[in-house]
Chains A and B, each alone.
Chain A
Amino acid sequence: MSRIVSHLDTTSDSYRHNHAEMTRRVQALRELTHKVRHERPARDVERLHRQKKLTVRERLDLLLDPGTPFLELSTLAANRAYGGEVHGAGCVSGIGIVSGREVVIHADDPSIKGGAWYPLTIKKIVRTLDIALENRLPVIHLCDSAGGFLPLQSELFPDRYAAGRIFRNQCTLSKLGVPQIAVVLGHCTAGGAYIPALCDYSVIVRGNGGVFLGGPPLVKAATGEVVTAEALGGADMHTSVSGTCDYPADDEPHAFAIARDILAQTTPIEKTRIDRVEPEDPHHDPAELYGIIPADWKTGFDMREVIARIVDGSRFHEYQPHYGSTLVCGFARIWGCKVGILANNGVLFNDSSLKAAHFMRLCDRDRTPLVFLQNITGYMVGREYEERGITKDGAKMIMTQVGCSVPKFTVIVGGSFGAGNYGMCGRAYDGRFLWMWPQSQIAVMGAEQAANTLAEVKIRQLERKGHRLDEAEIAAIREPVLQRFRAESDAYHSTSELWDDGILDPLDTRNALGMAIVASLNAPFGEPGYGVLRL
């Protein structure tokens, strides 16, 4: 496989301008990430202290193998919701290494509203467990939550993928033979009590840990019985009388030592084998990624320059290099693993759609995981293309993509608009992981186009009633729509709503994909296949 030849001019004004802009965006991302990870109200920090509890970051430090990587997911969940106060949606999720094994971690953050579960918290936990299910990764739950956030109960309790889904996922994980360990560091009340109960192993901290379907206040209200939390569902009772929990721990460090020990003795599984060799760092400097992505998303760029700075040795075997040029397809390696890459270099035409379908079939049949680098405004429109069957061809691309049973990974590098999102494996298409870049956009159409369209409708309506609007009035209708669309299409909104698994610094993309791909090998691949192609 030969190296991609780069045509990037790092001395050009546009490079410098792009670089500065991306640097600024990444800096803003880092600042917000830092705030979300570490800034806490003093009162909450003091309360943790008094309760002799560690912060969620300190807990992770004790749990994870020192000197190993940790891929945190959806760090900025809920950053645009609940007044921006529920950092990370009140929990931390990620993939890390514990006792030498890849695991998924779900850790409640008791320093955020007592670790209460908001609707987006539930969504994050369910997503975390879905990741565990799809990739067959062992799960460690660090349980320390005040329970569901009552005022929003209608959004977190009744629906199919709401709170109940957490426990359903746990049961399914168990049925599939995926180990789960719960470390009970606080109270697990009502529904929350089922988390440790549905885990294979549970560790509970004396004095702080408690598992009960009804806490002391509820018990007193229900039957008049007066009982302390420790006696009702504390460590000693559950580990020696009821058998609900397995290992009592004297304190949190002890609990993590036990959890590590438990995991160390579980039988490791054989990973699915794919084409894998010794990894190689990219030949072209990944730092140049900052200068490649245009500050204005409407400006195009060559995705090959991005690929060259992510893949091993910048080596890329391009498939159909002269056909369907708006979609770049080819084989490369990421951290040694061979993958098939599809990357947008413009809108999708008939030929690029067909090329995508054929390429994805090759990868599916040959058990090559797929990586989608999105920067798509949509499929081509117009009479010529409709007569050529662009709708059919787009359908074939989507049909093939859905049929793929190899793991799929998506990074929204630029824009992700309309049906282009579908063909290129957007969120709805069961990719194992999906990430945004700081300047990415996602919407059914671009904000300007949407604002123009809606303003147009309003203007026509008013004109029919006899109003002729001047420029200022048109702007007054258009602007709010534009602002709203802009806000709802940016990466921070997407990540707030958990439409993605996090916003990545472009420089982190290679490591994130590397970890994700090897994590996905813990599950077996399904059989290749697909539905009916409208030929």
Chain B
Amino acid sequence: MNAFHFSDTPQRRHRVHRQPGSDQVVVDGKHVAVQALGGGRFRALLDGRPQQLHAVPDGDAVLVQWRGRAWRIERIDATRANAAAAGSEAGVSHAPMPGVVVSLQAAAGQRVSEGEALLVIESMKLQMTITAACSGTVQALPVAAGQTFQRGAVLAQVKPDEEAR
């Protein structure tokens, strides 16, 4: 059983269980039989009437088309840390351990993409790069090269981009 959500309503989760080797899928406790016809085509009943749909996987999400409308449905990885819960903390990078700043890779006001390098730190003879947790604008890099810090210290703040949808 997996949790799925429509990409435009991420807070509304649905429980979906596919019984392997069968056409039955249980969605939020109700059974739906879906036949795979090949080539991305599927047939299922809605209110007793057969419907034809198309779907194609896209990573851990699926793009589904029905009667000319399309949706993106995402499967939630239960074990991944829930980013939404840390809403107020979005975009803030904390020091994972005590150490010293080696160099800054970005500047305040700069637009960065998720995963882009913000600064390099060193601790216990190990260097690591702190990257942006989300795409957005760098609000602050409150440390300077050569500065030491404790575990948990705020190393960077990125203001996340507004959601386009």
Contacts and interface: CB of A to CB of B under 8 A. Distances in A.
A258 interface: yes
B3 A253 contact: yes
Interface string B10-26: 00010101011000101
Q: Which of B1, B26, B77, B81 has the most CB of A within 10 A?
A: B1
A66 interface: yes
Contacts of B78: 254, 257-258, 260-261
19 contacts: A65-B1, A65-B17, A65-B19, A66-B17, A66-B26, A66-B29, A67-B19, A67-B31, A100-B20, A206-B85, A248-B81, A250-B82, A253-B3, A253-B13, A254-B78, A257-B76, A258-B78, A260-B78, A261-B77
A347 interface: no
Nearest to A98: B1
A62 interface: yes
B31 A257 contact: no
Nearest to B77: A261
B88 interface: no
A481 B82 CA distance: 63
A168 B151 CA distance: 39
Nearest to A239: B81
A257 B29 CA distance: 15
Contact of A250 (B77, B79, B85): B85
A257 B82 contact: no
Interface in B63-121: 76-79, 81-82, 85
A253 B15 contact: yes
A257 B26 contact: no
B150 interface: no
A247 interface: yes
Contacts of A61: 29
Interface of B: 1-3, 13, 15, 17, 19-20, 24, 26, 29, 31, 76-79, 81-82, 85
B1 A66 contact: yes
Nearest to A247: B79
A415 to B, nearest CB: 42
Contact of B1 (A247, A248, A257): A257
Contact of A261 (B13, B24, B29, B79): B79
A253 B82 CA distance: 13
B103 to A, nearest CB: 28
Given A65-B17, A66-B29, A257 B85 contact: no
Contacts of B82: 250, 254
B32 to A, nearest CB: 11
A260 B19 contact: no
A61 B1 CA distance: 11
A67 B20 CA distance: 12
Interface in A236-261: 247-248, 250, 253-254, 257-258, 260-261
Contacts of A206: 85
B2 to A, nearest CB: 7
A262 B17 CA distance: 16
Contacts of A250: 82, 85
Given A66-B19, A66-B29, A67-B26, 15 more contacts: A65-B19, A66-B1, A67-B17, A67-B24, A100-B20, A206-B85, A248-B81, A250-B85, A254-B3, A257-B2, A257-B78, A258-B79, A260-B78, A261-B79, A262-B79
Nearest to A258: B78
A260 B78 CA distance: 9
Contacts of B1: 62, 65-66, 99, 257, 260
Top 6 nearest A-B pairs by Cβ distance? A257-B78, A66-B26, A258-B78, A66-B17, A261-B78, A257-B3
Interface string A46-80: 00000000000000011001110000000000000
Contacts of B79: 247, 258, 261-262
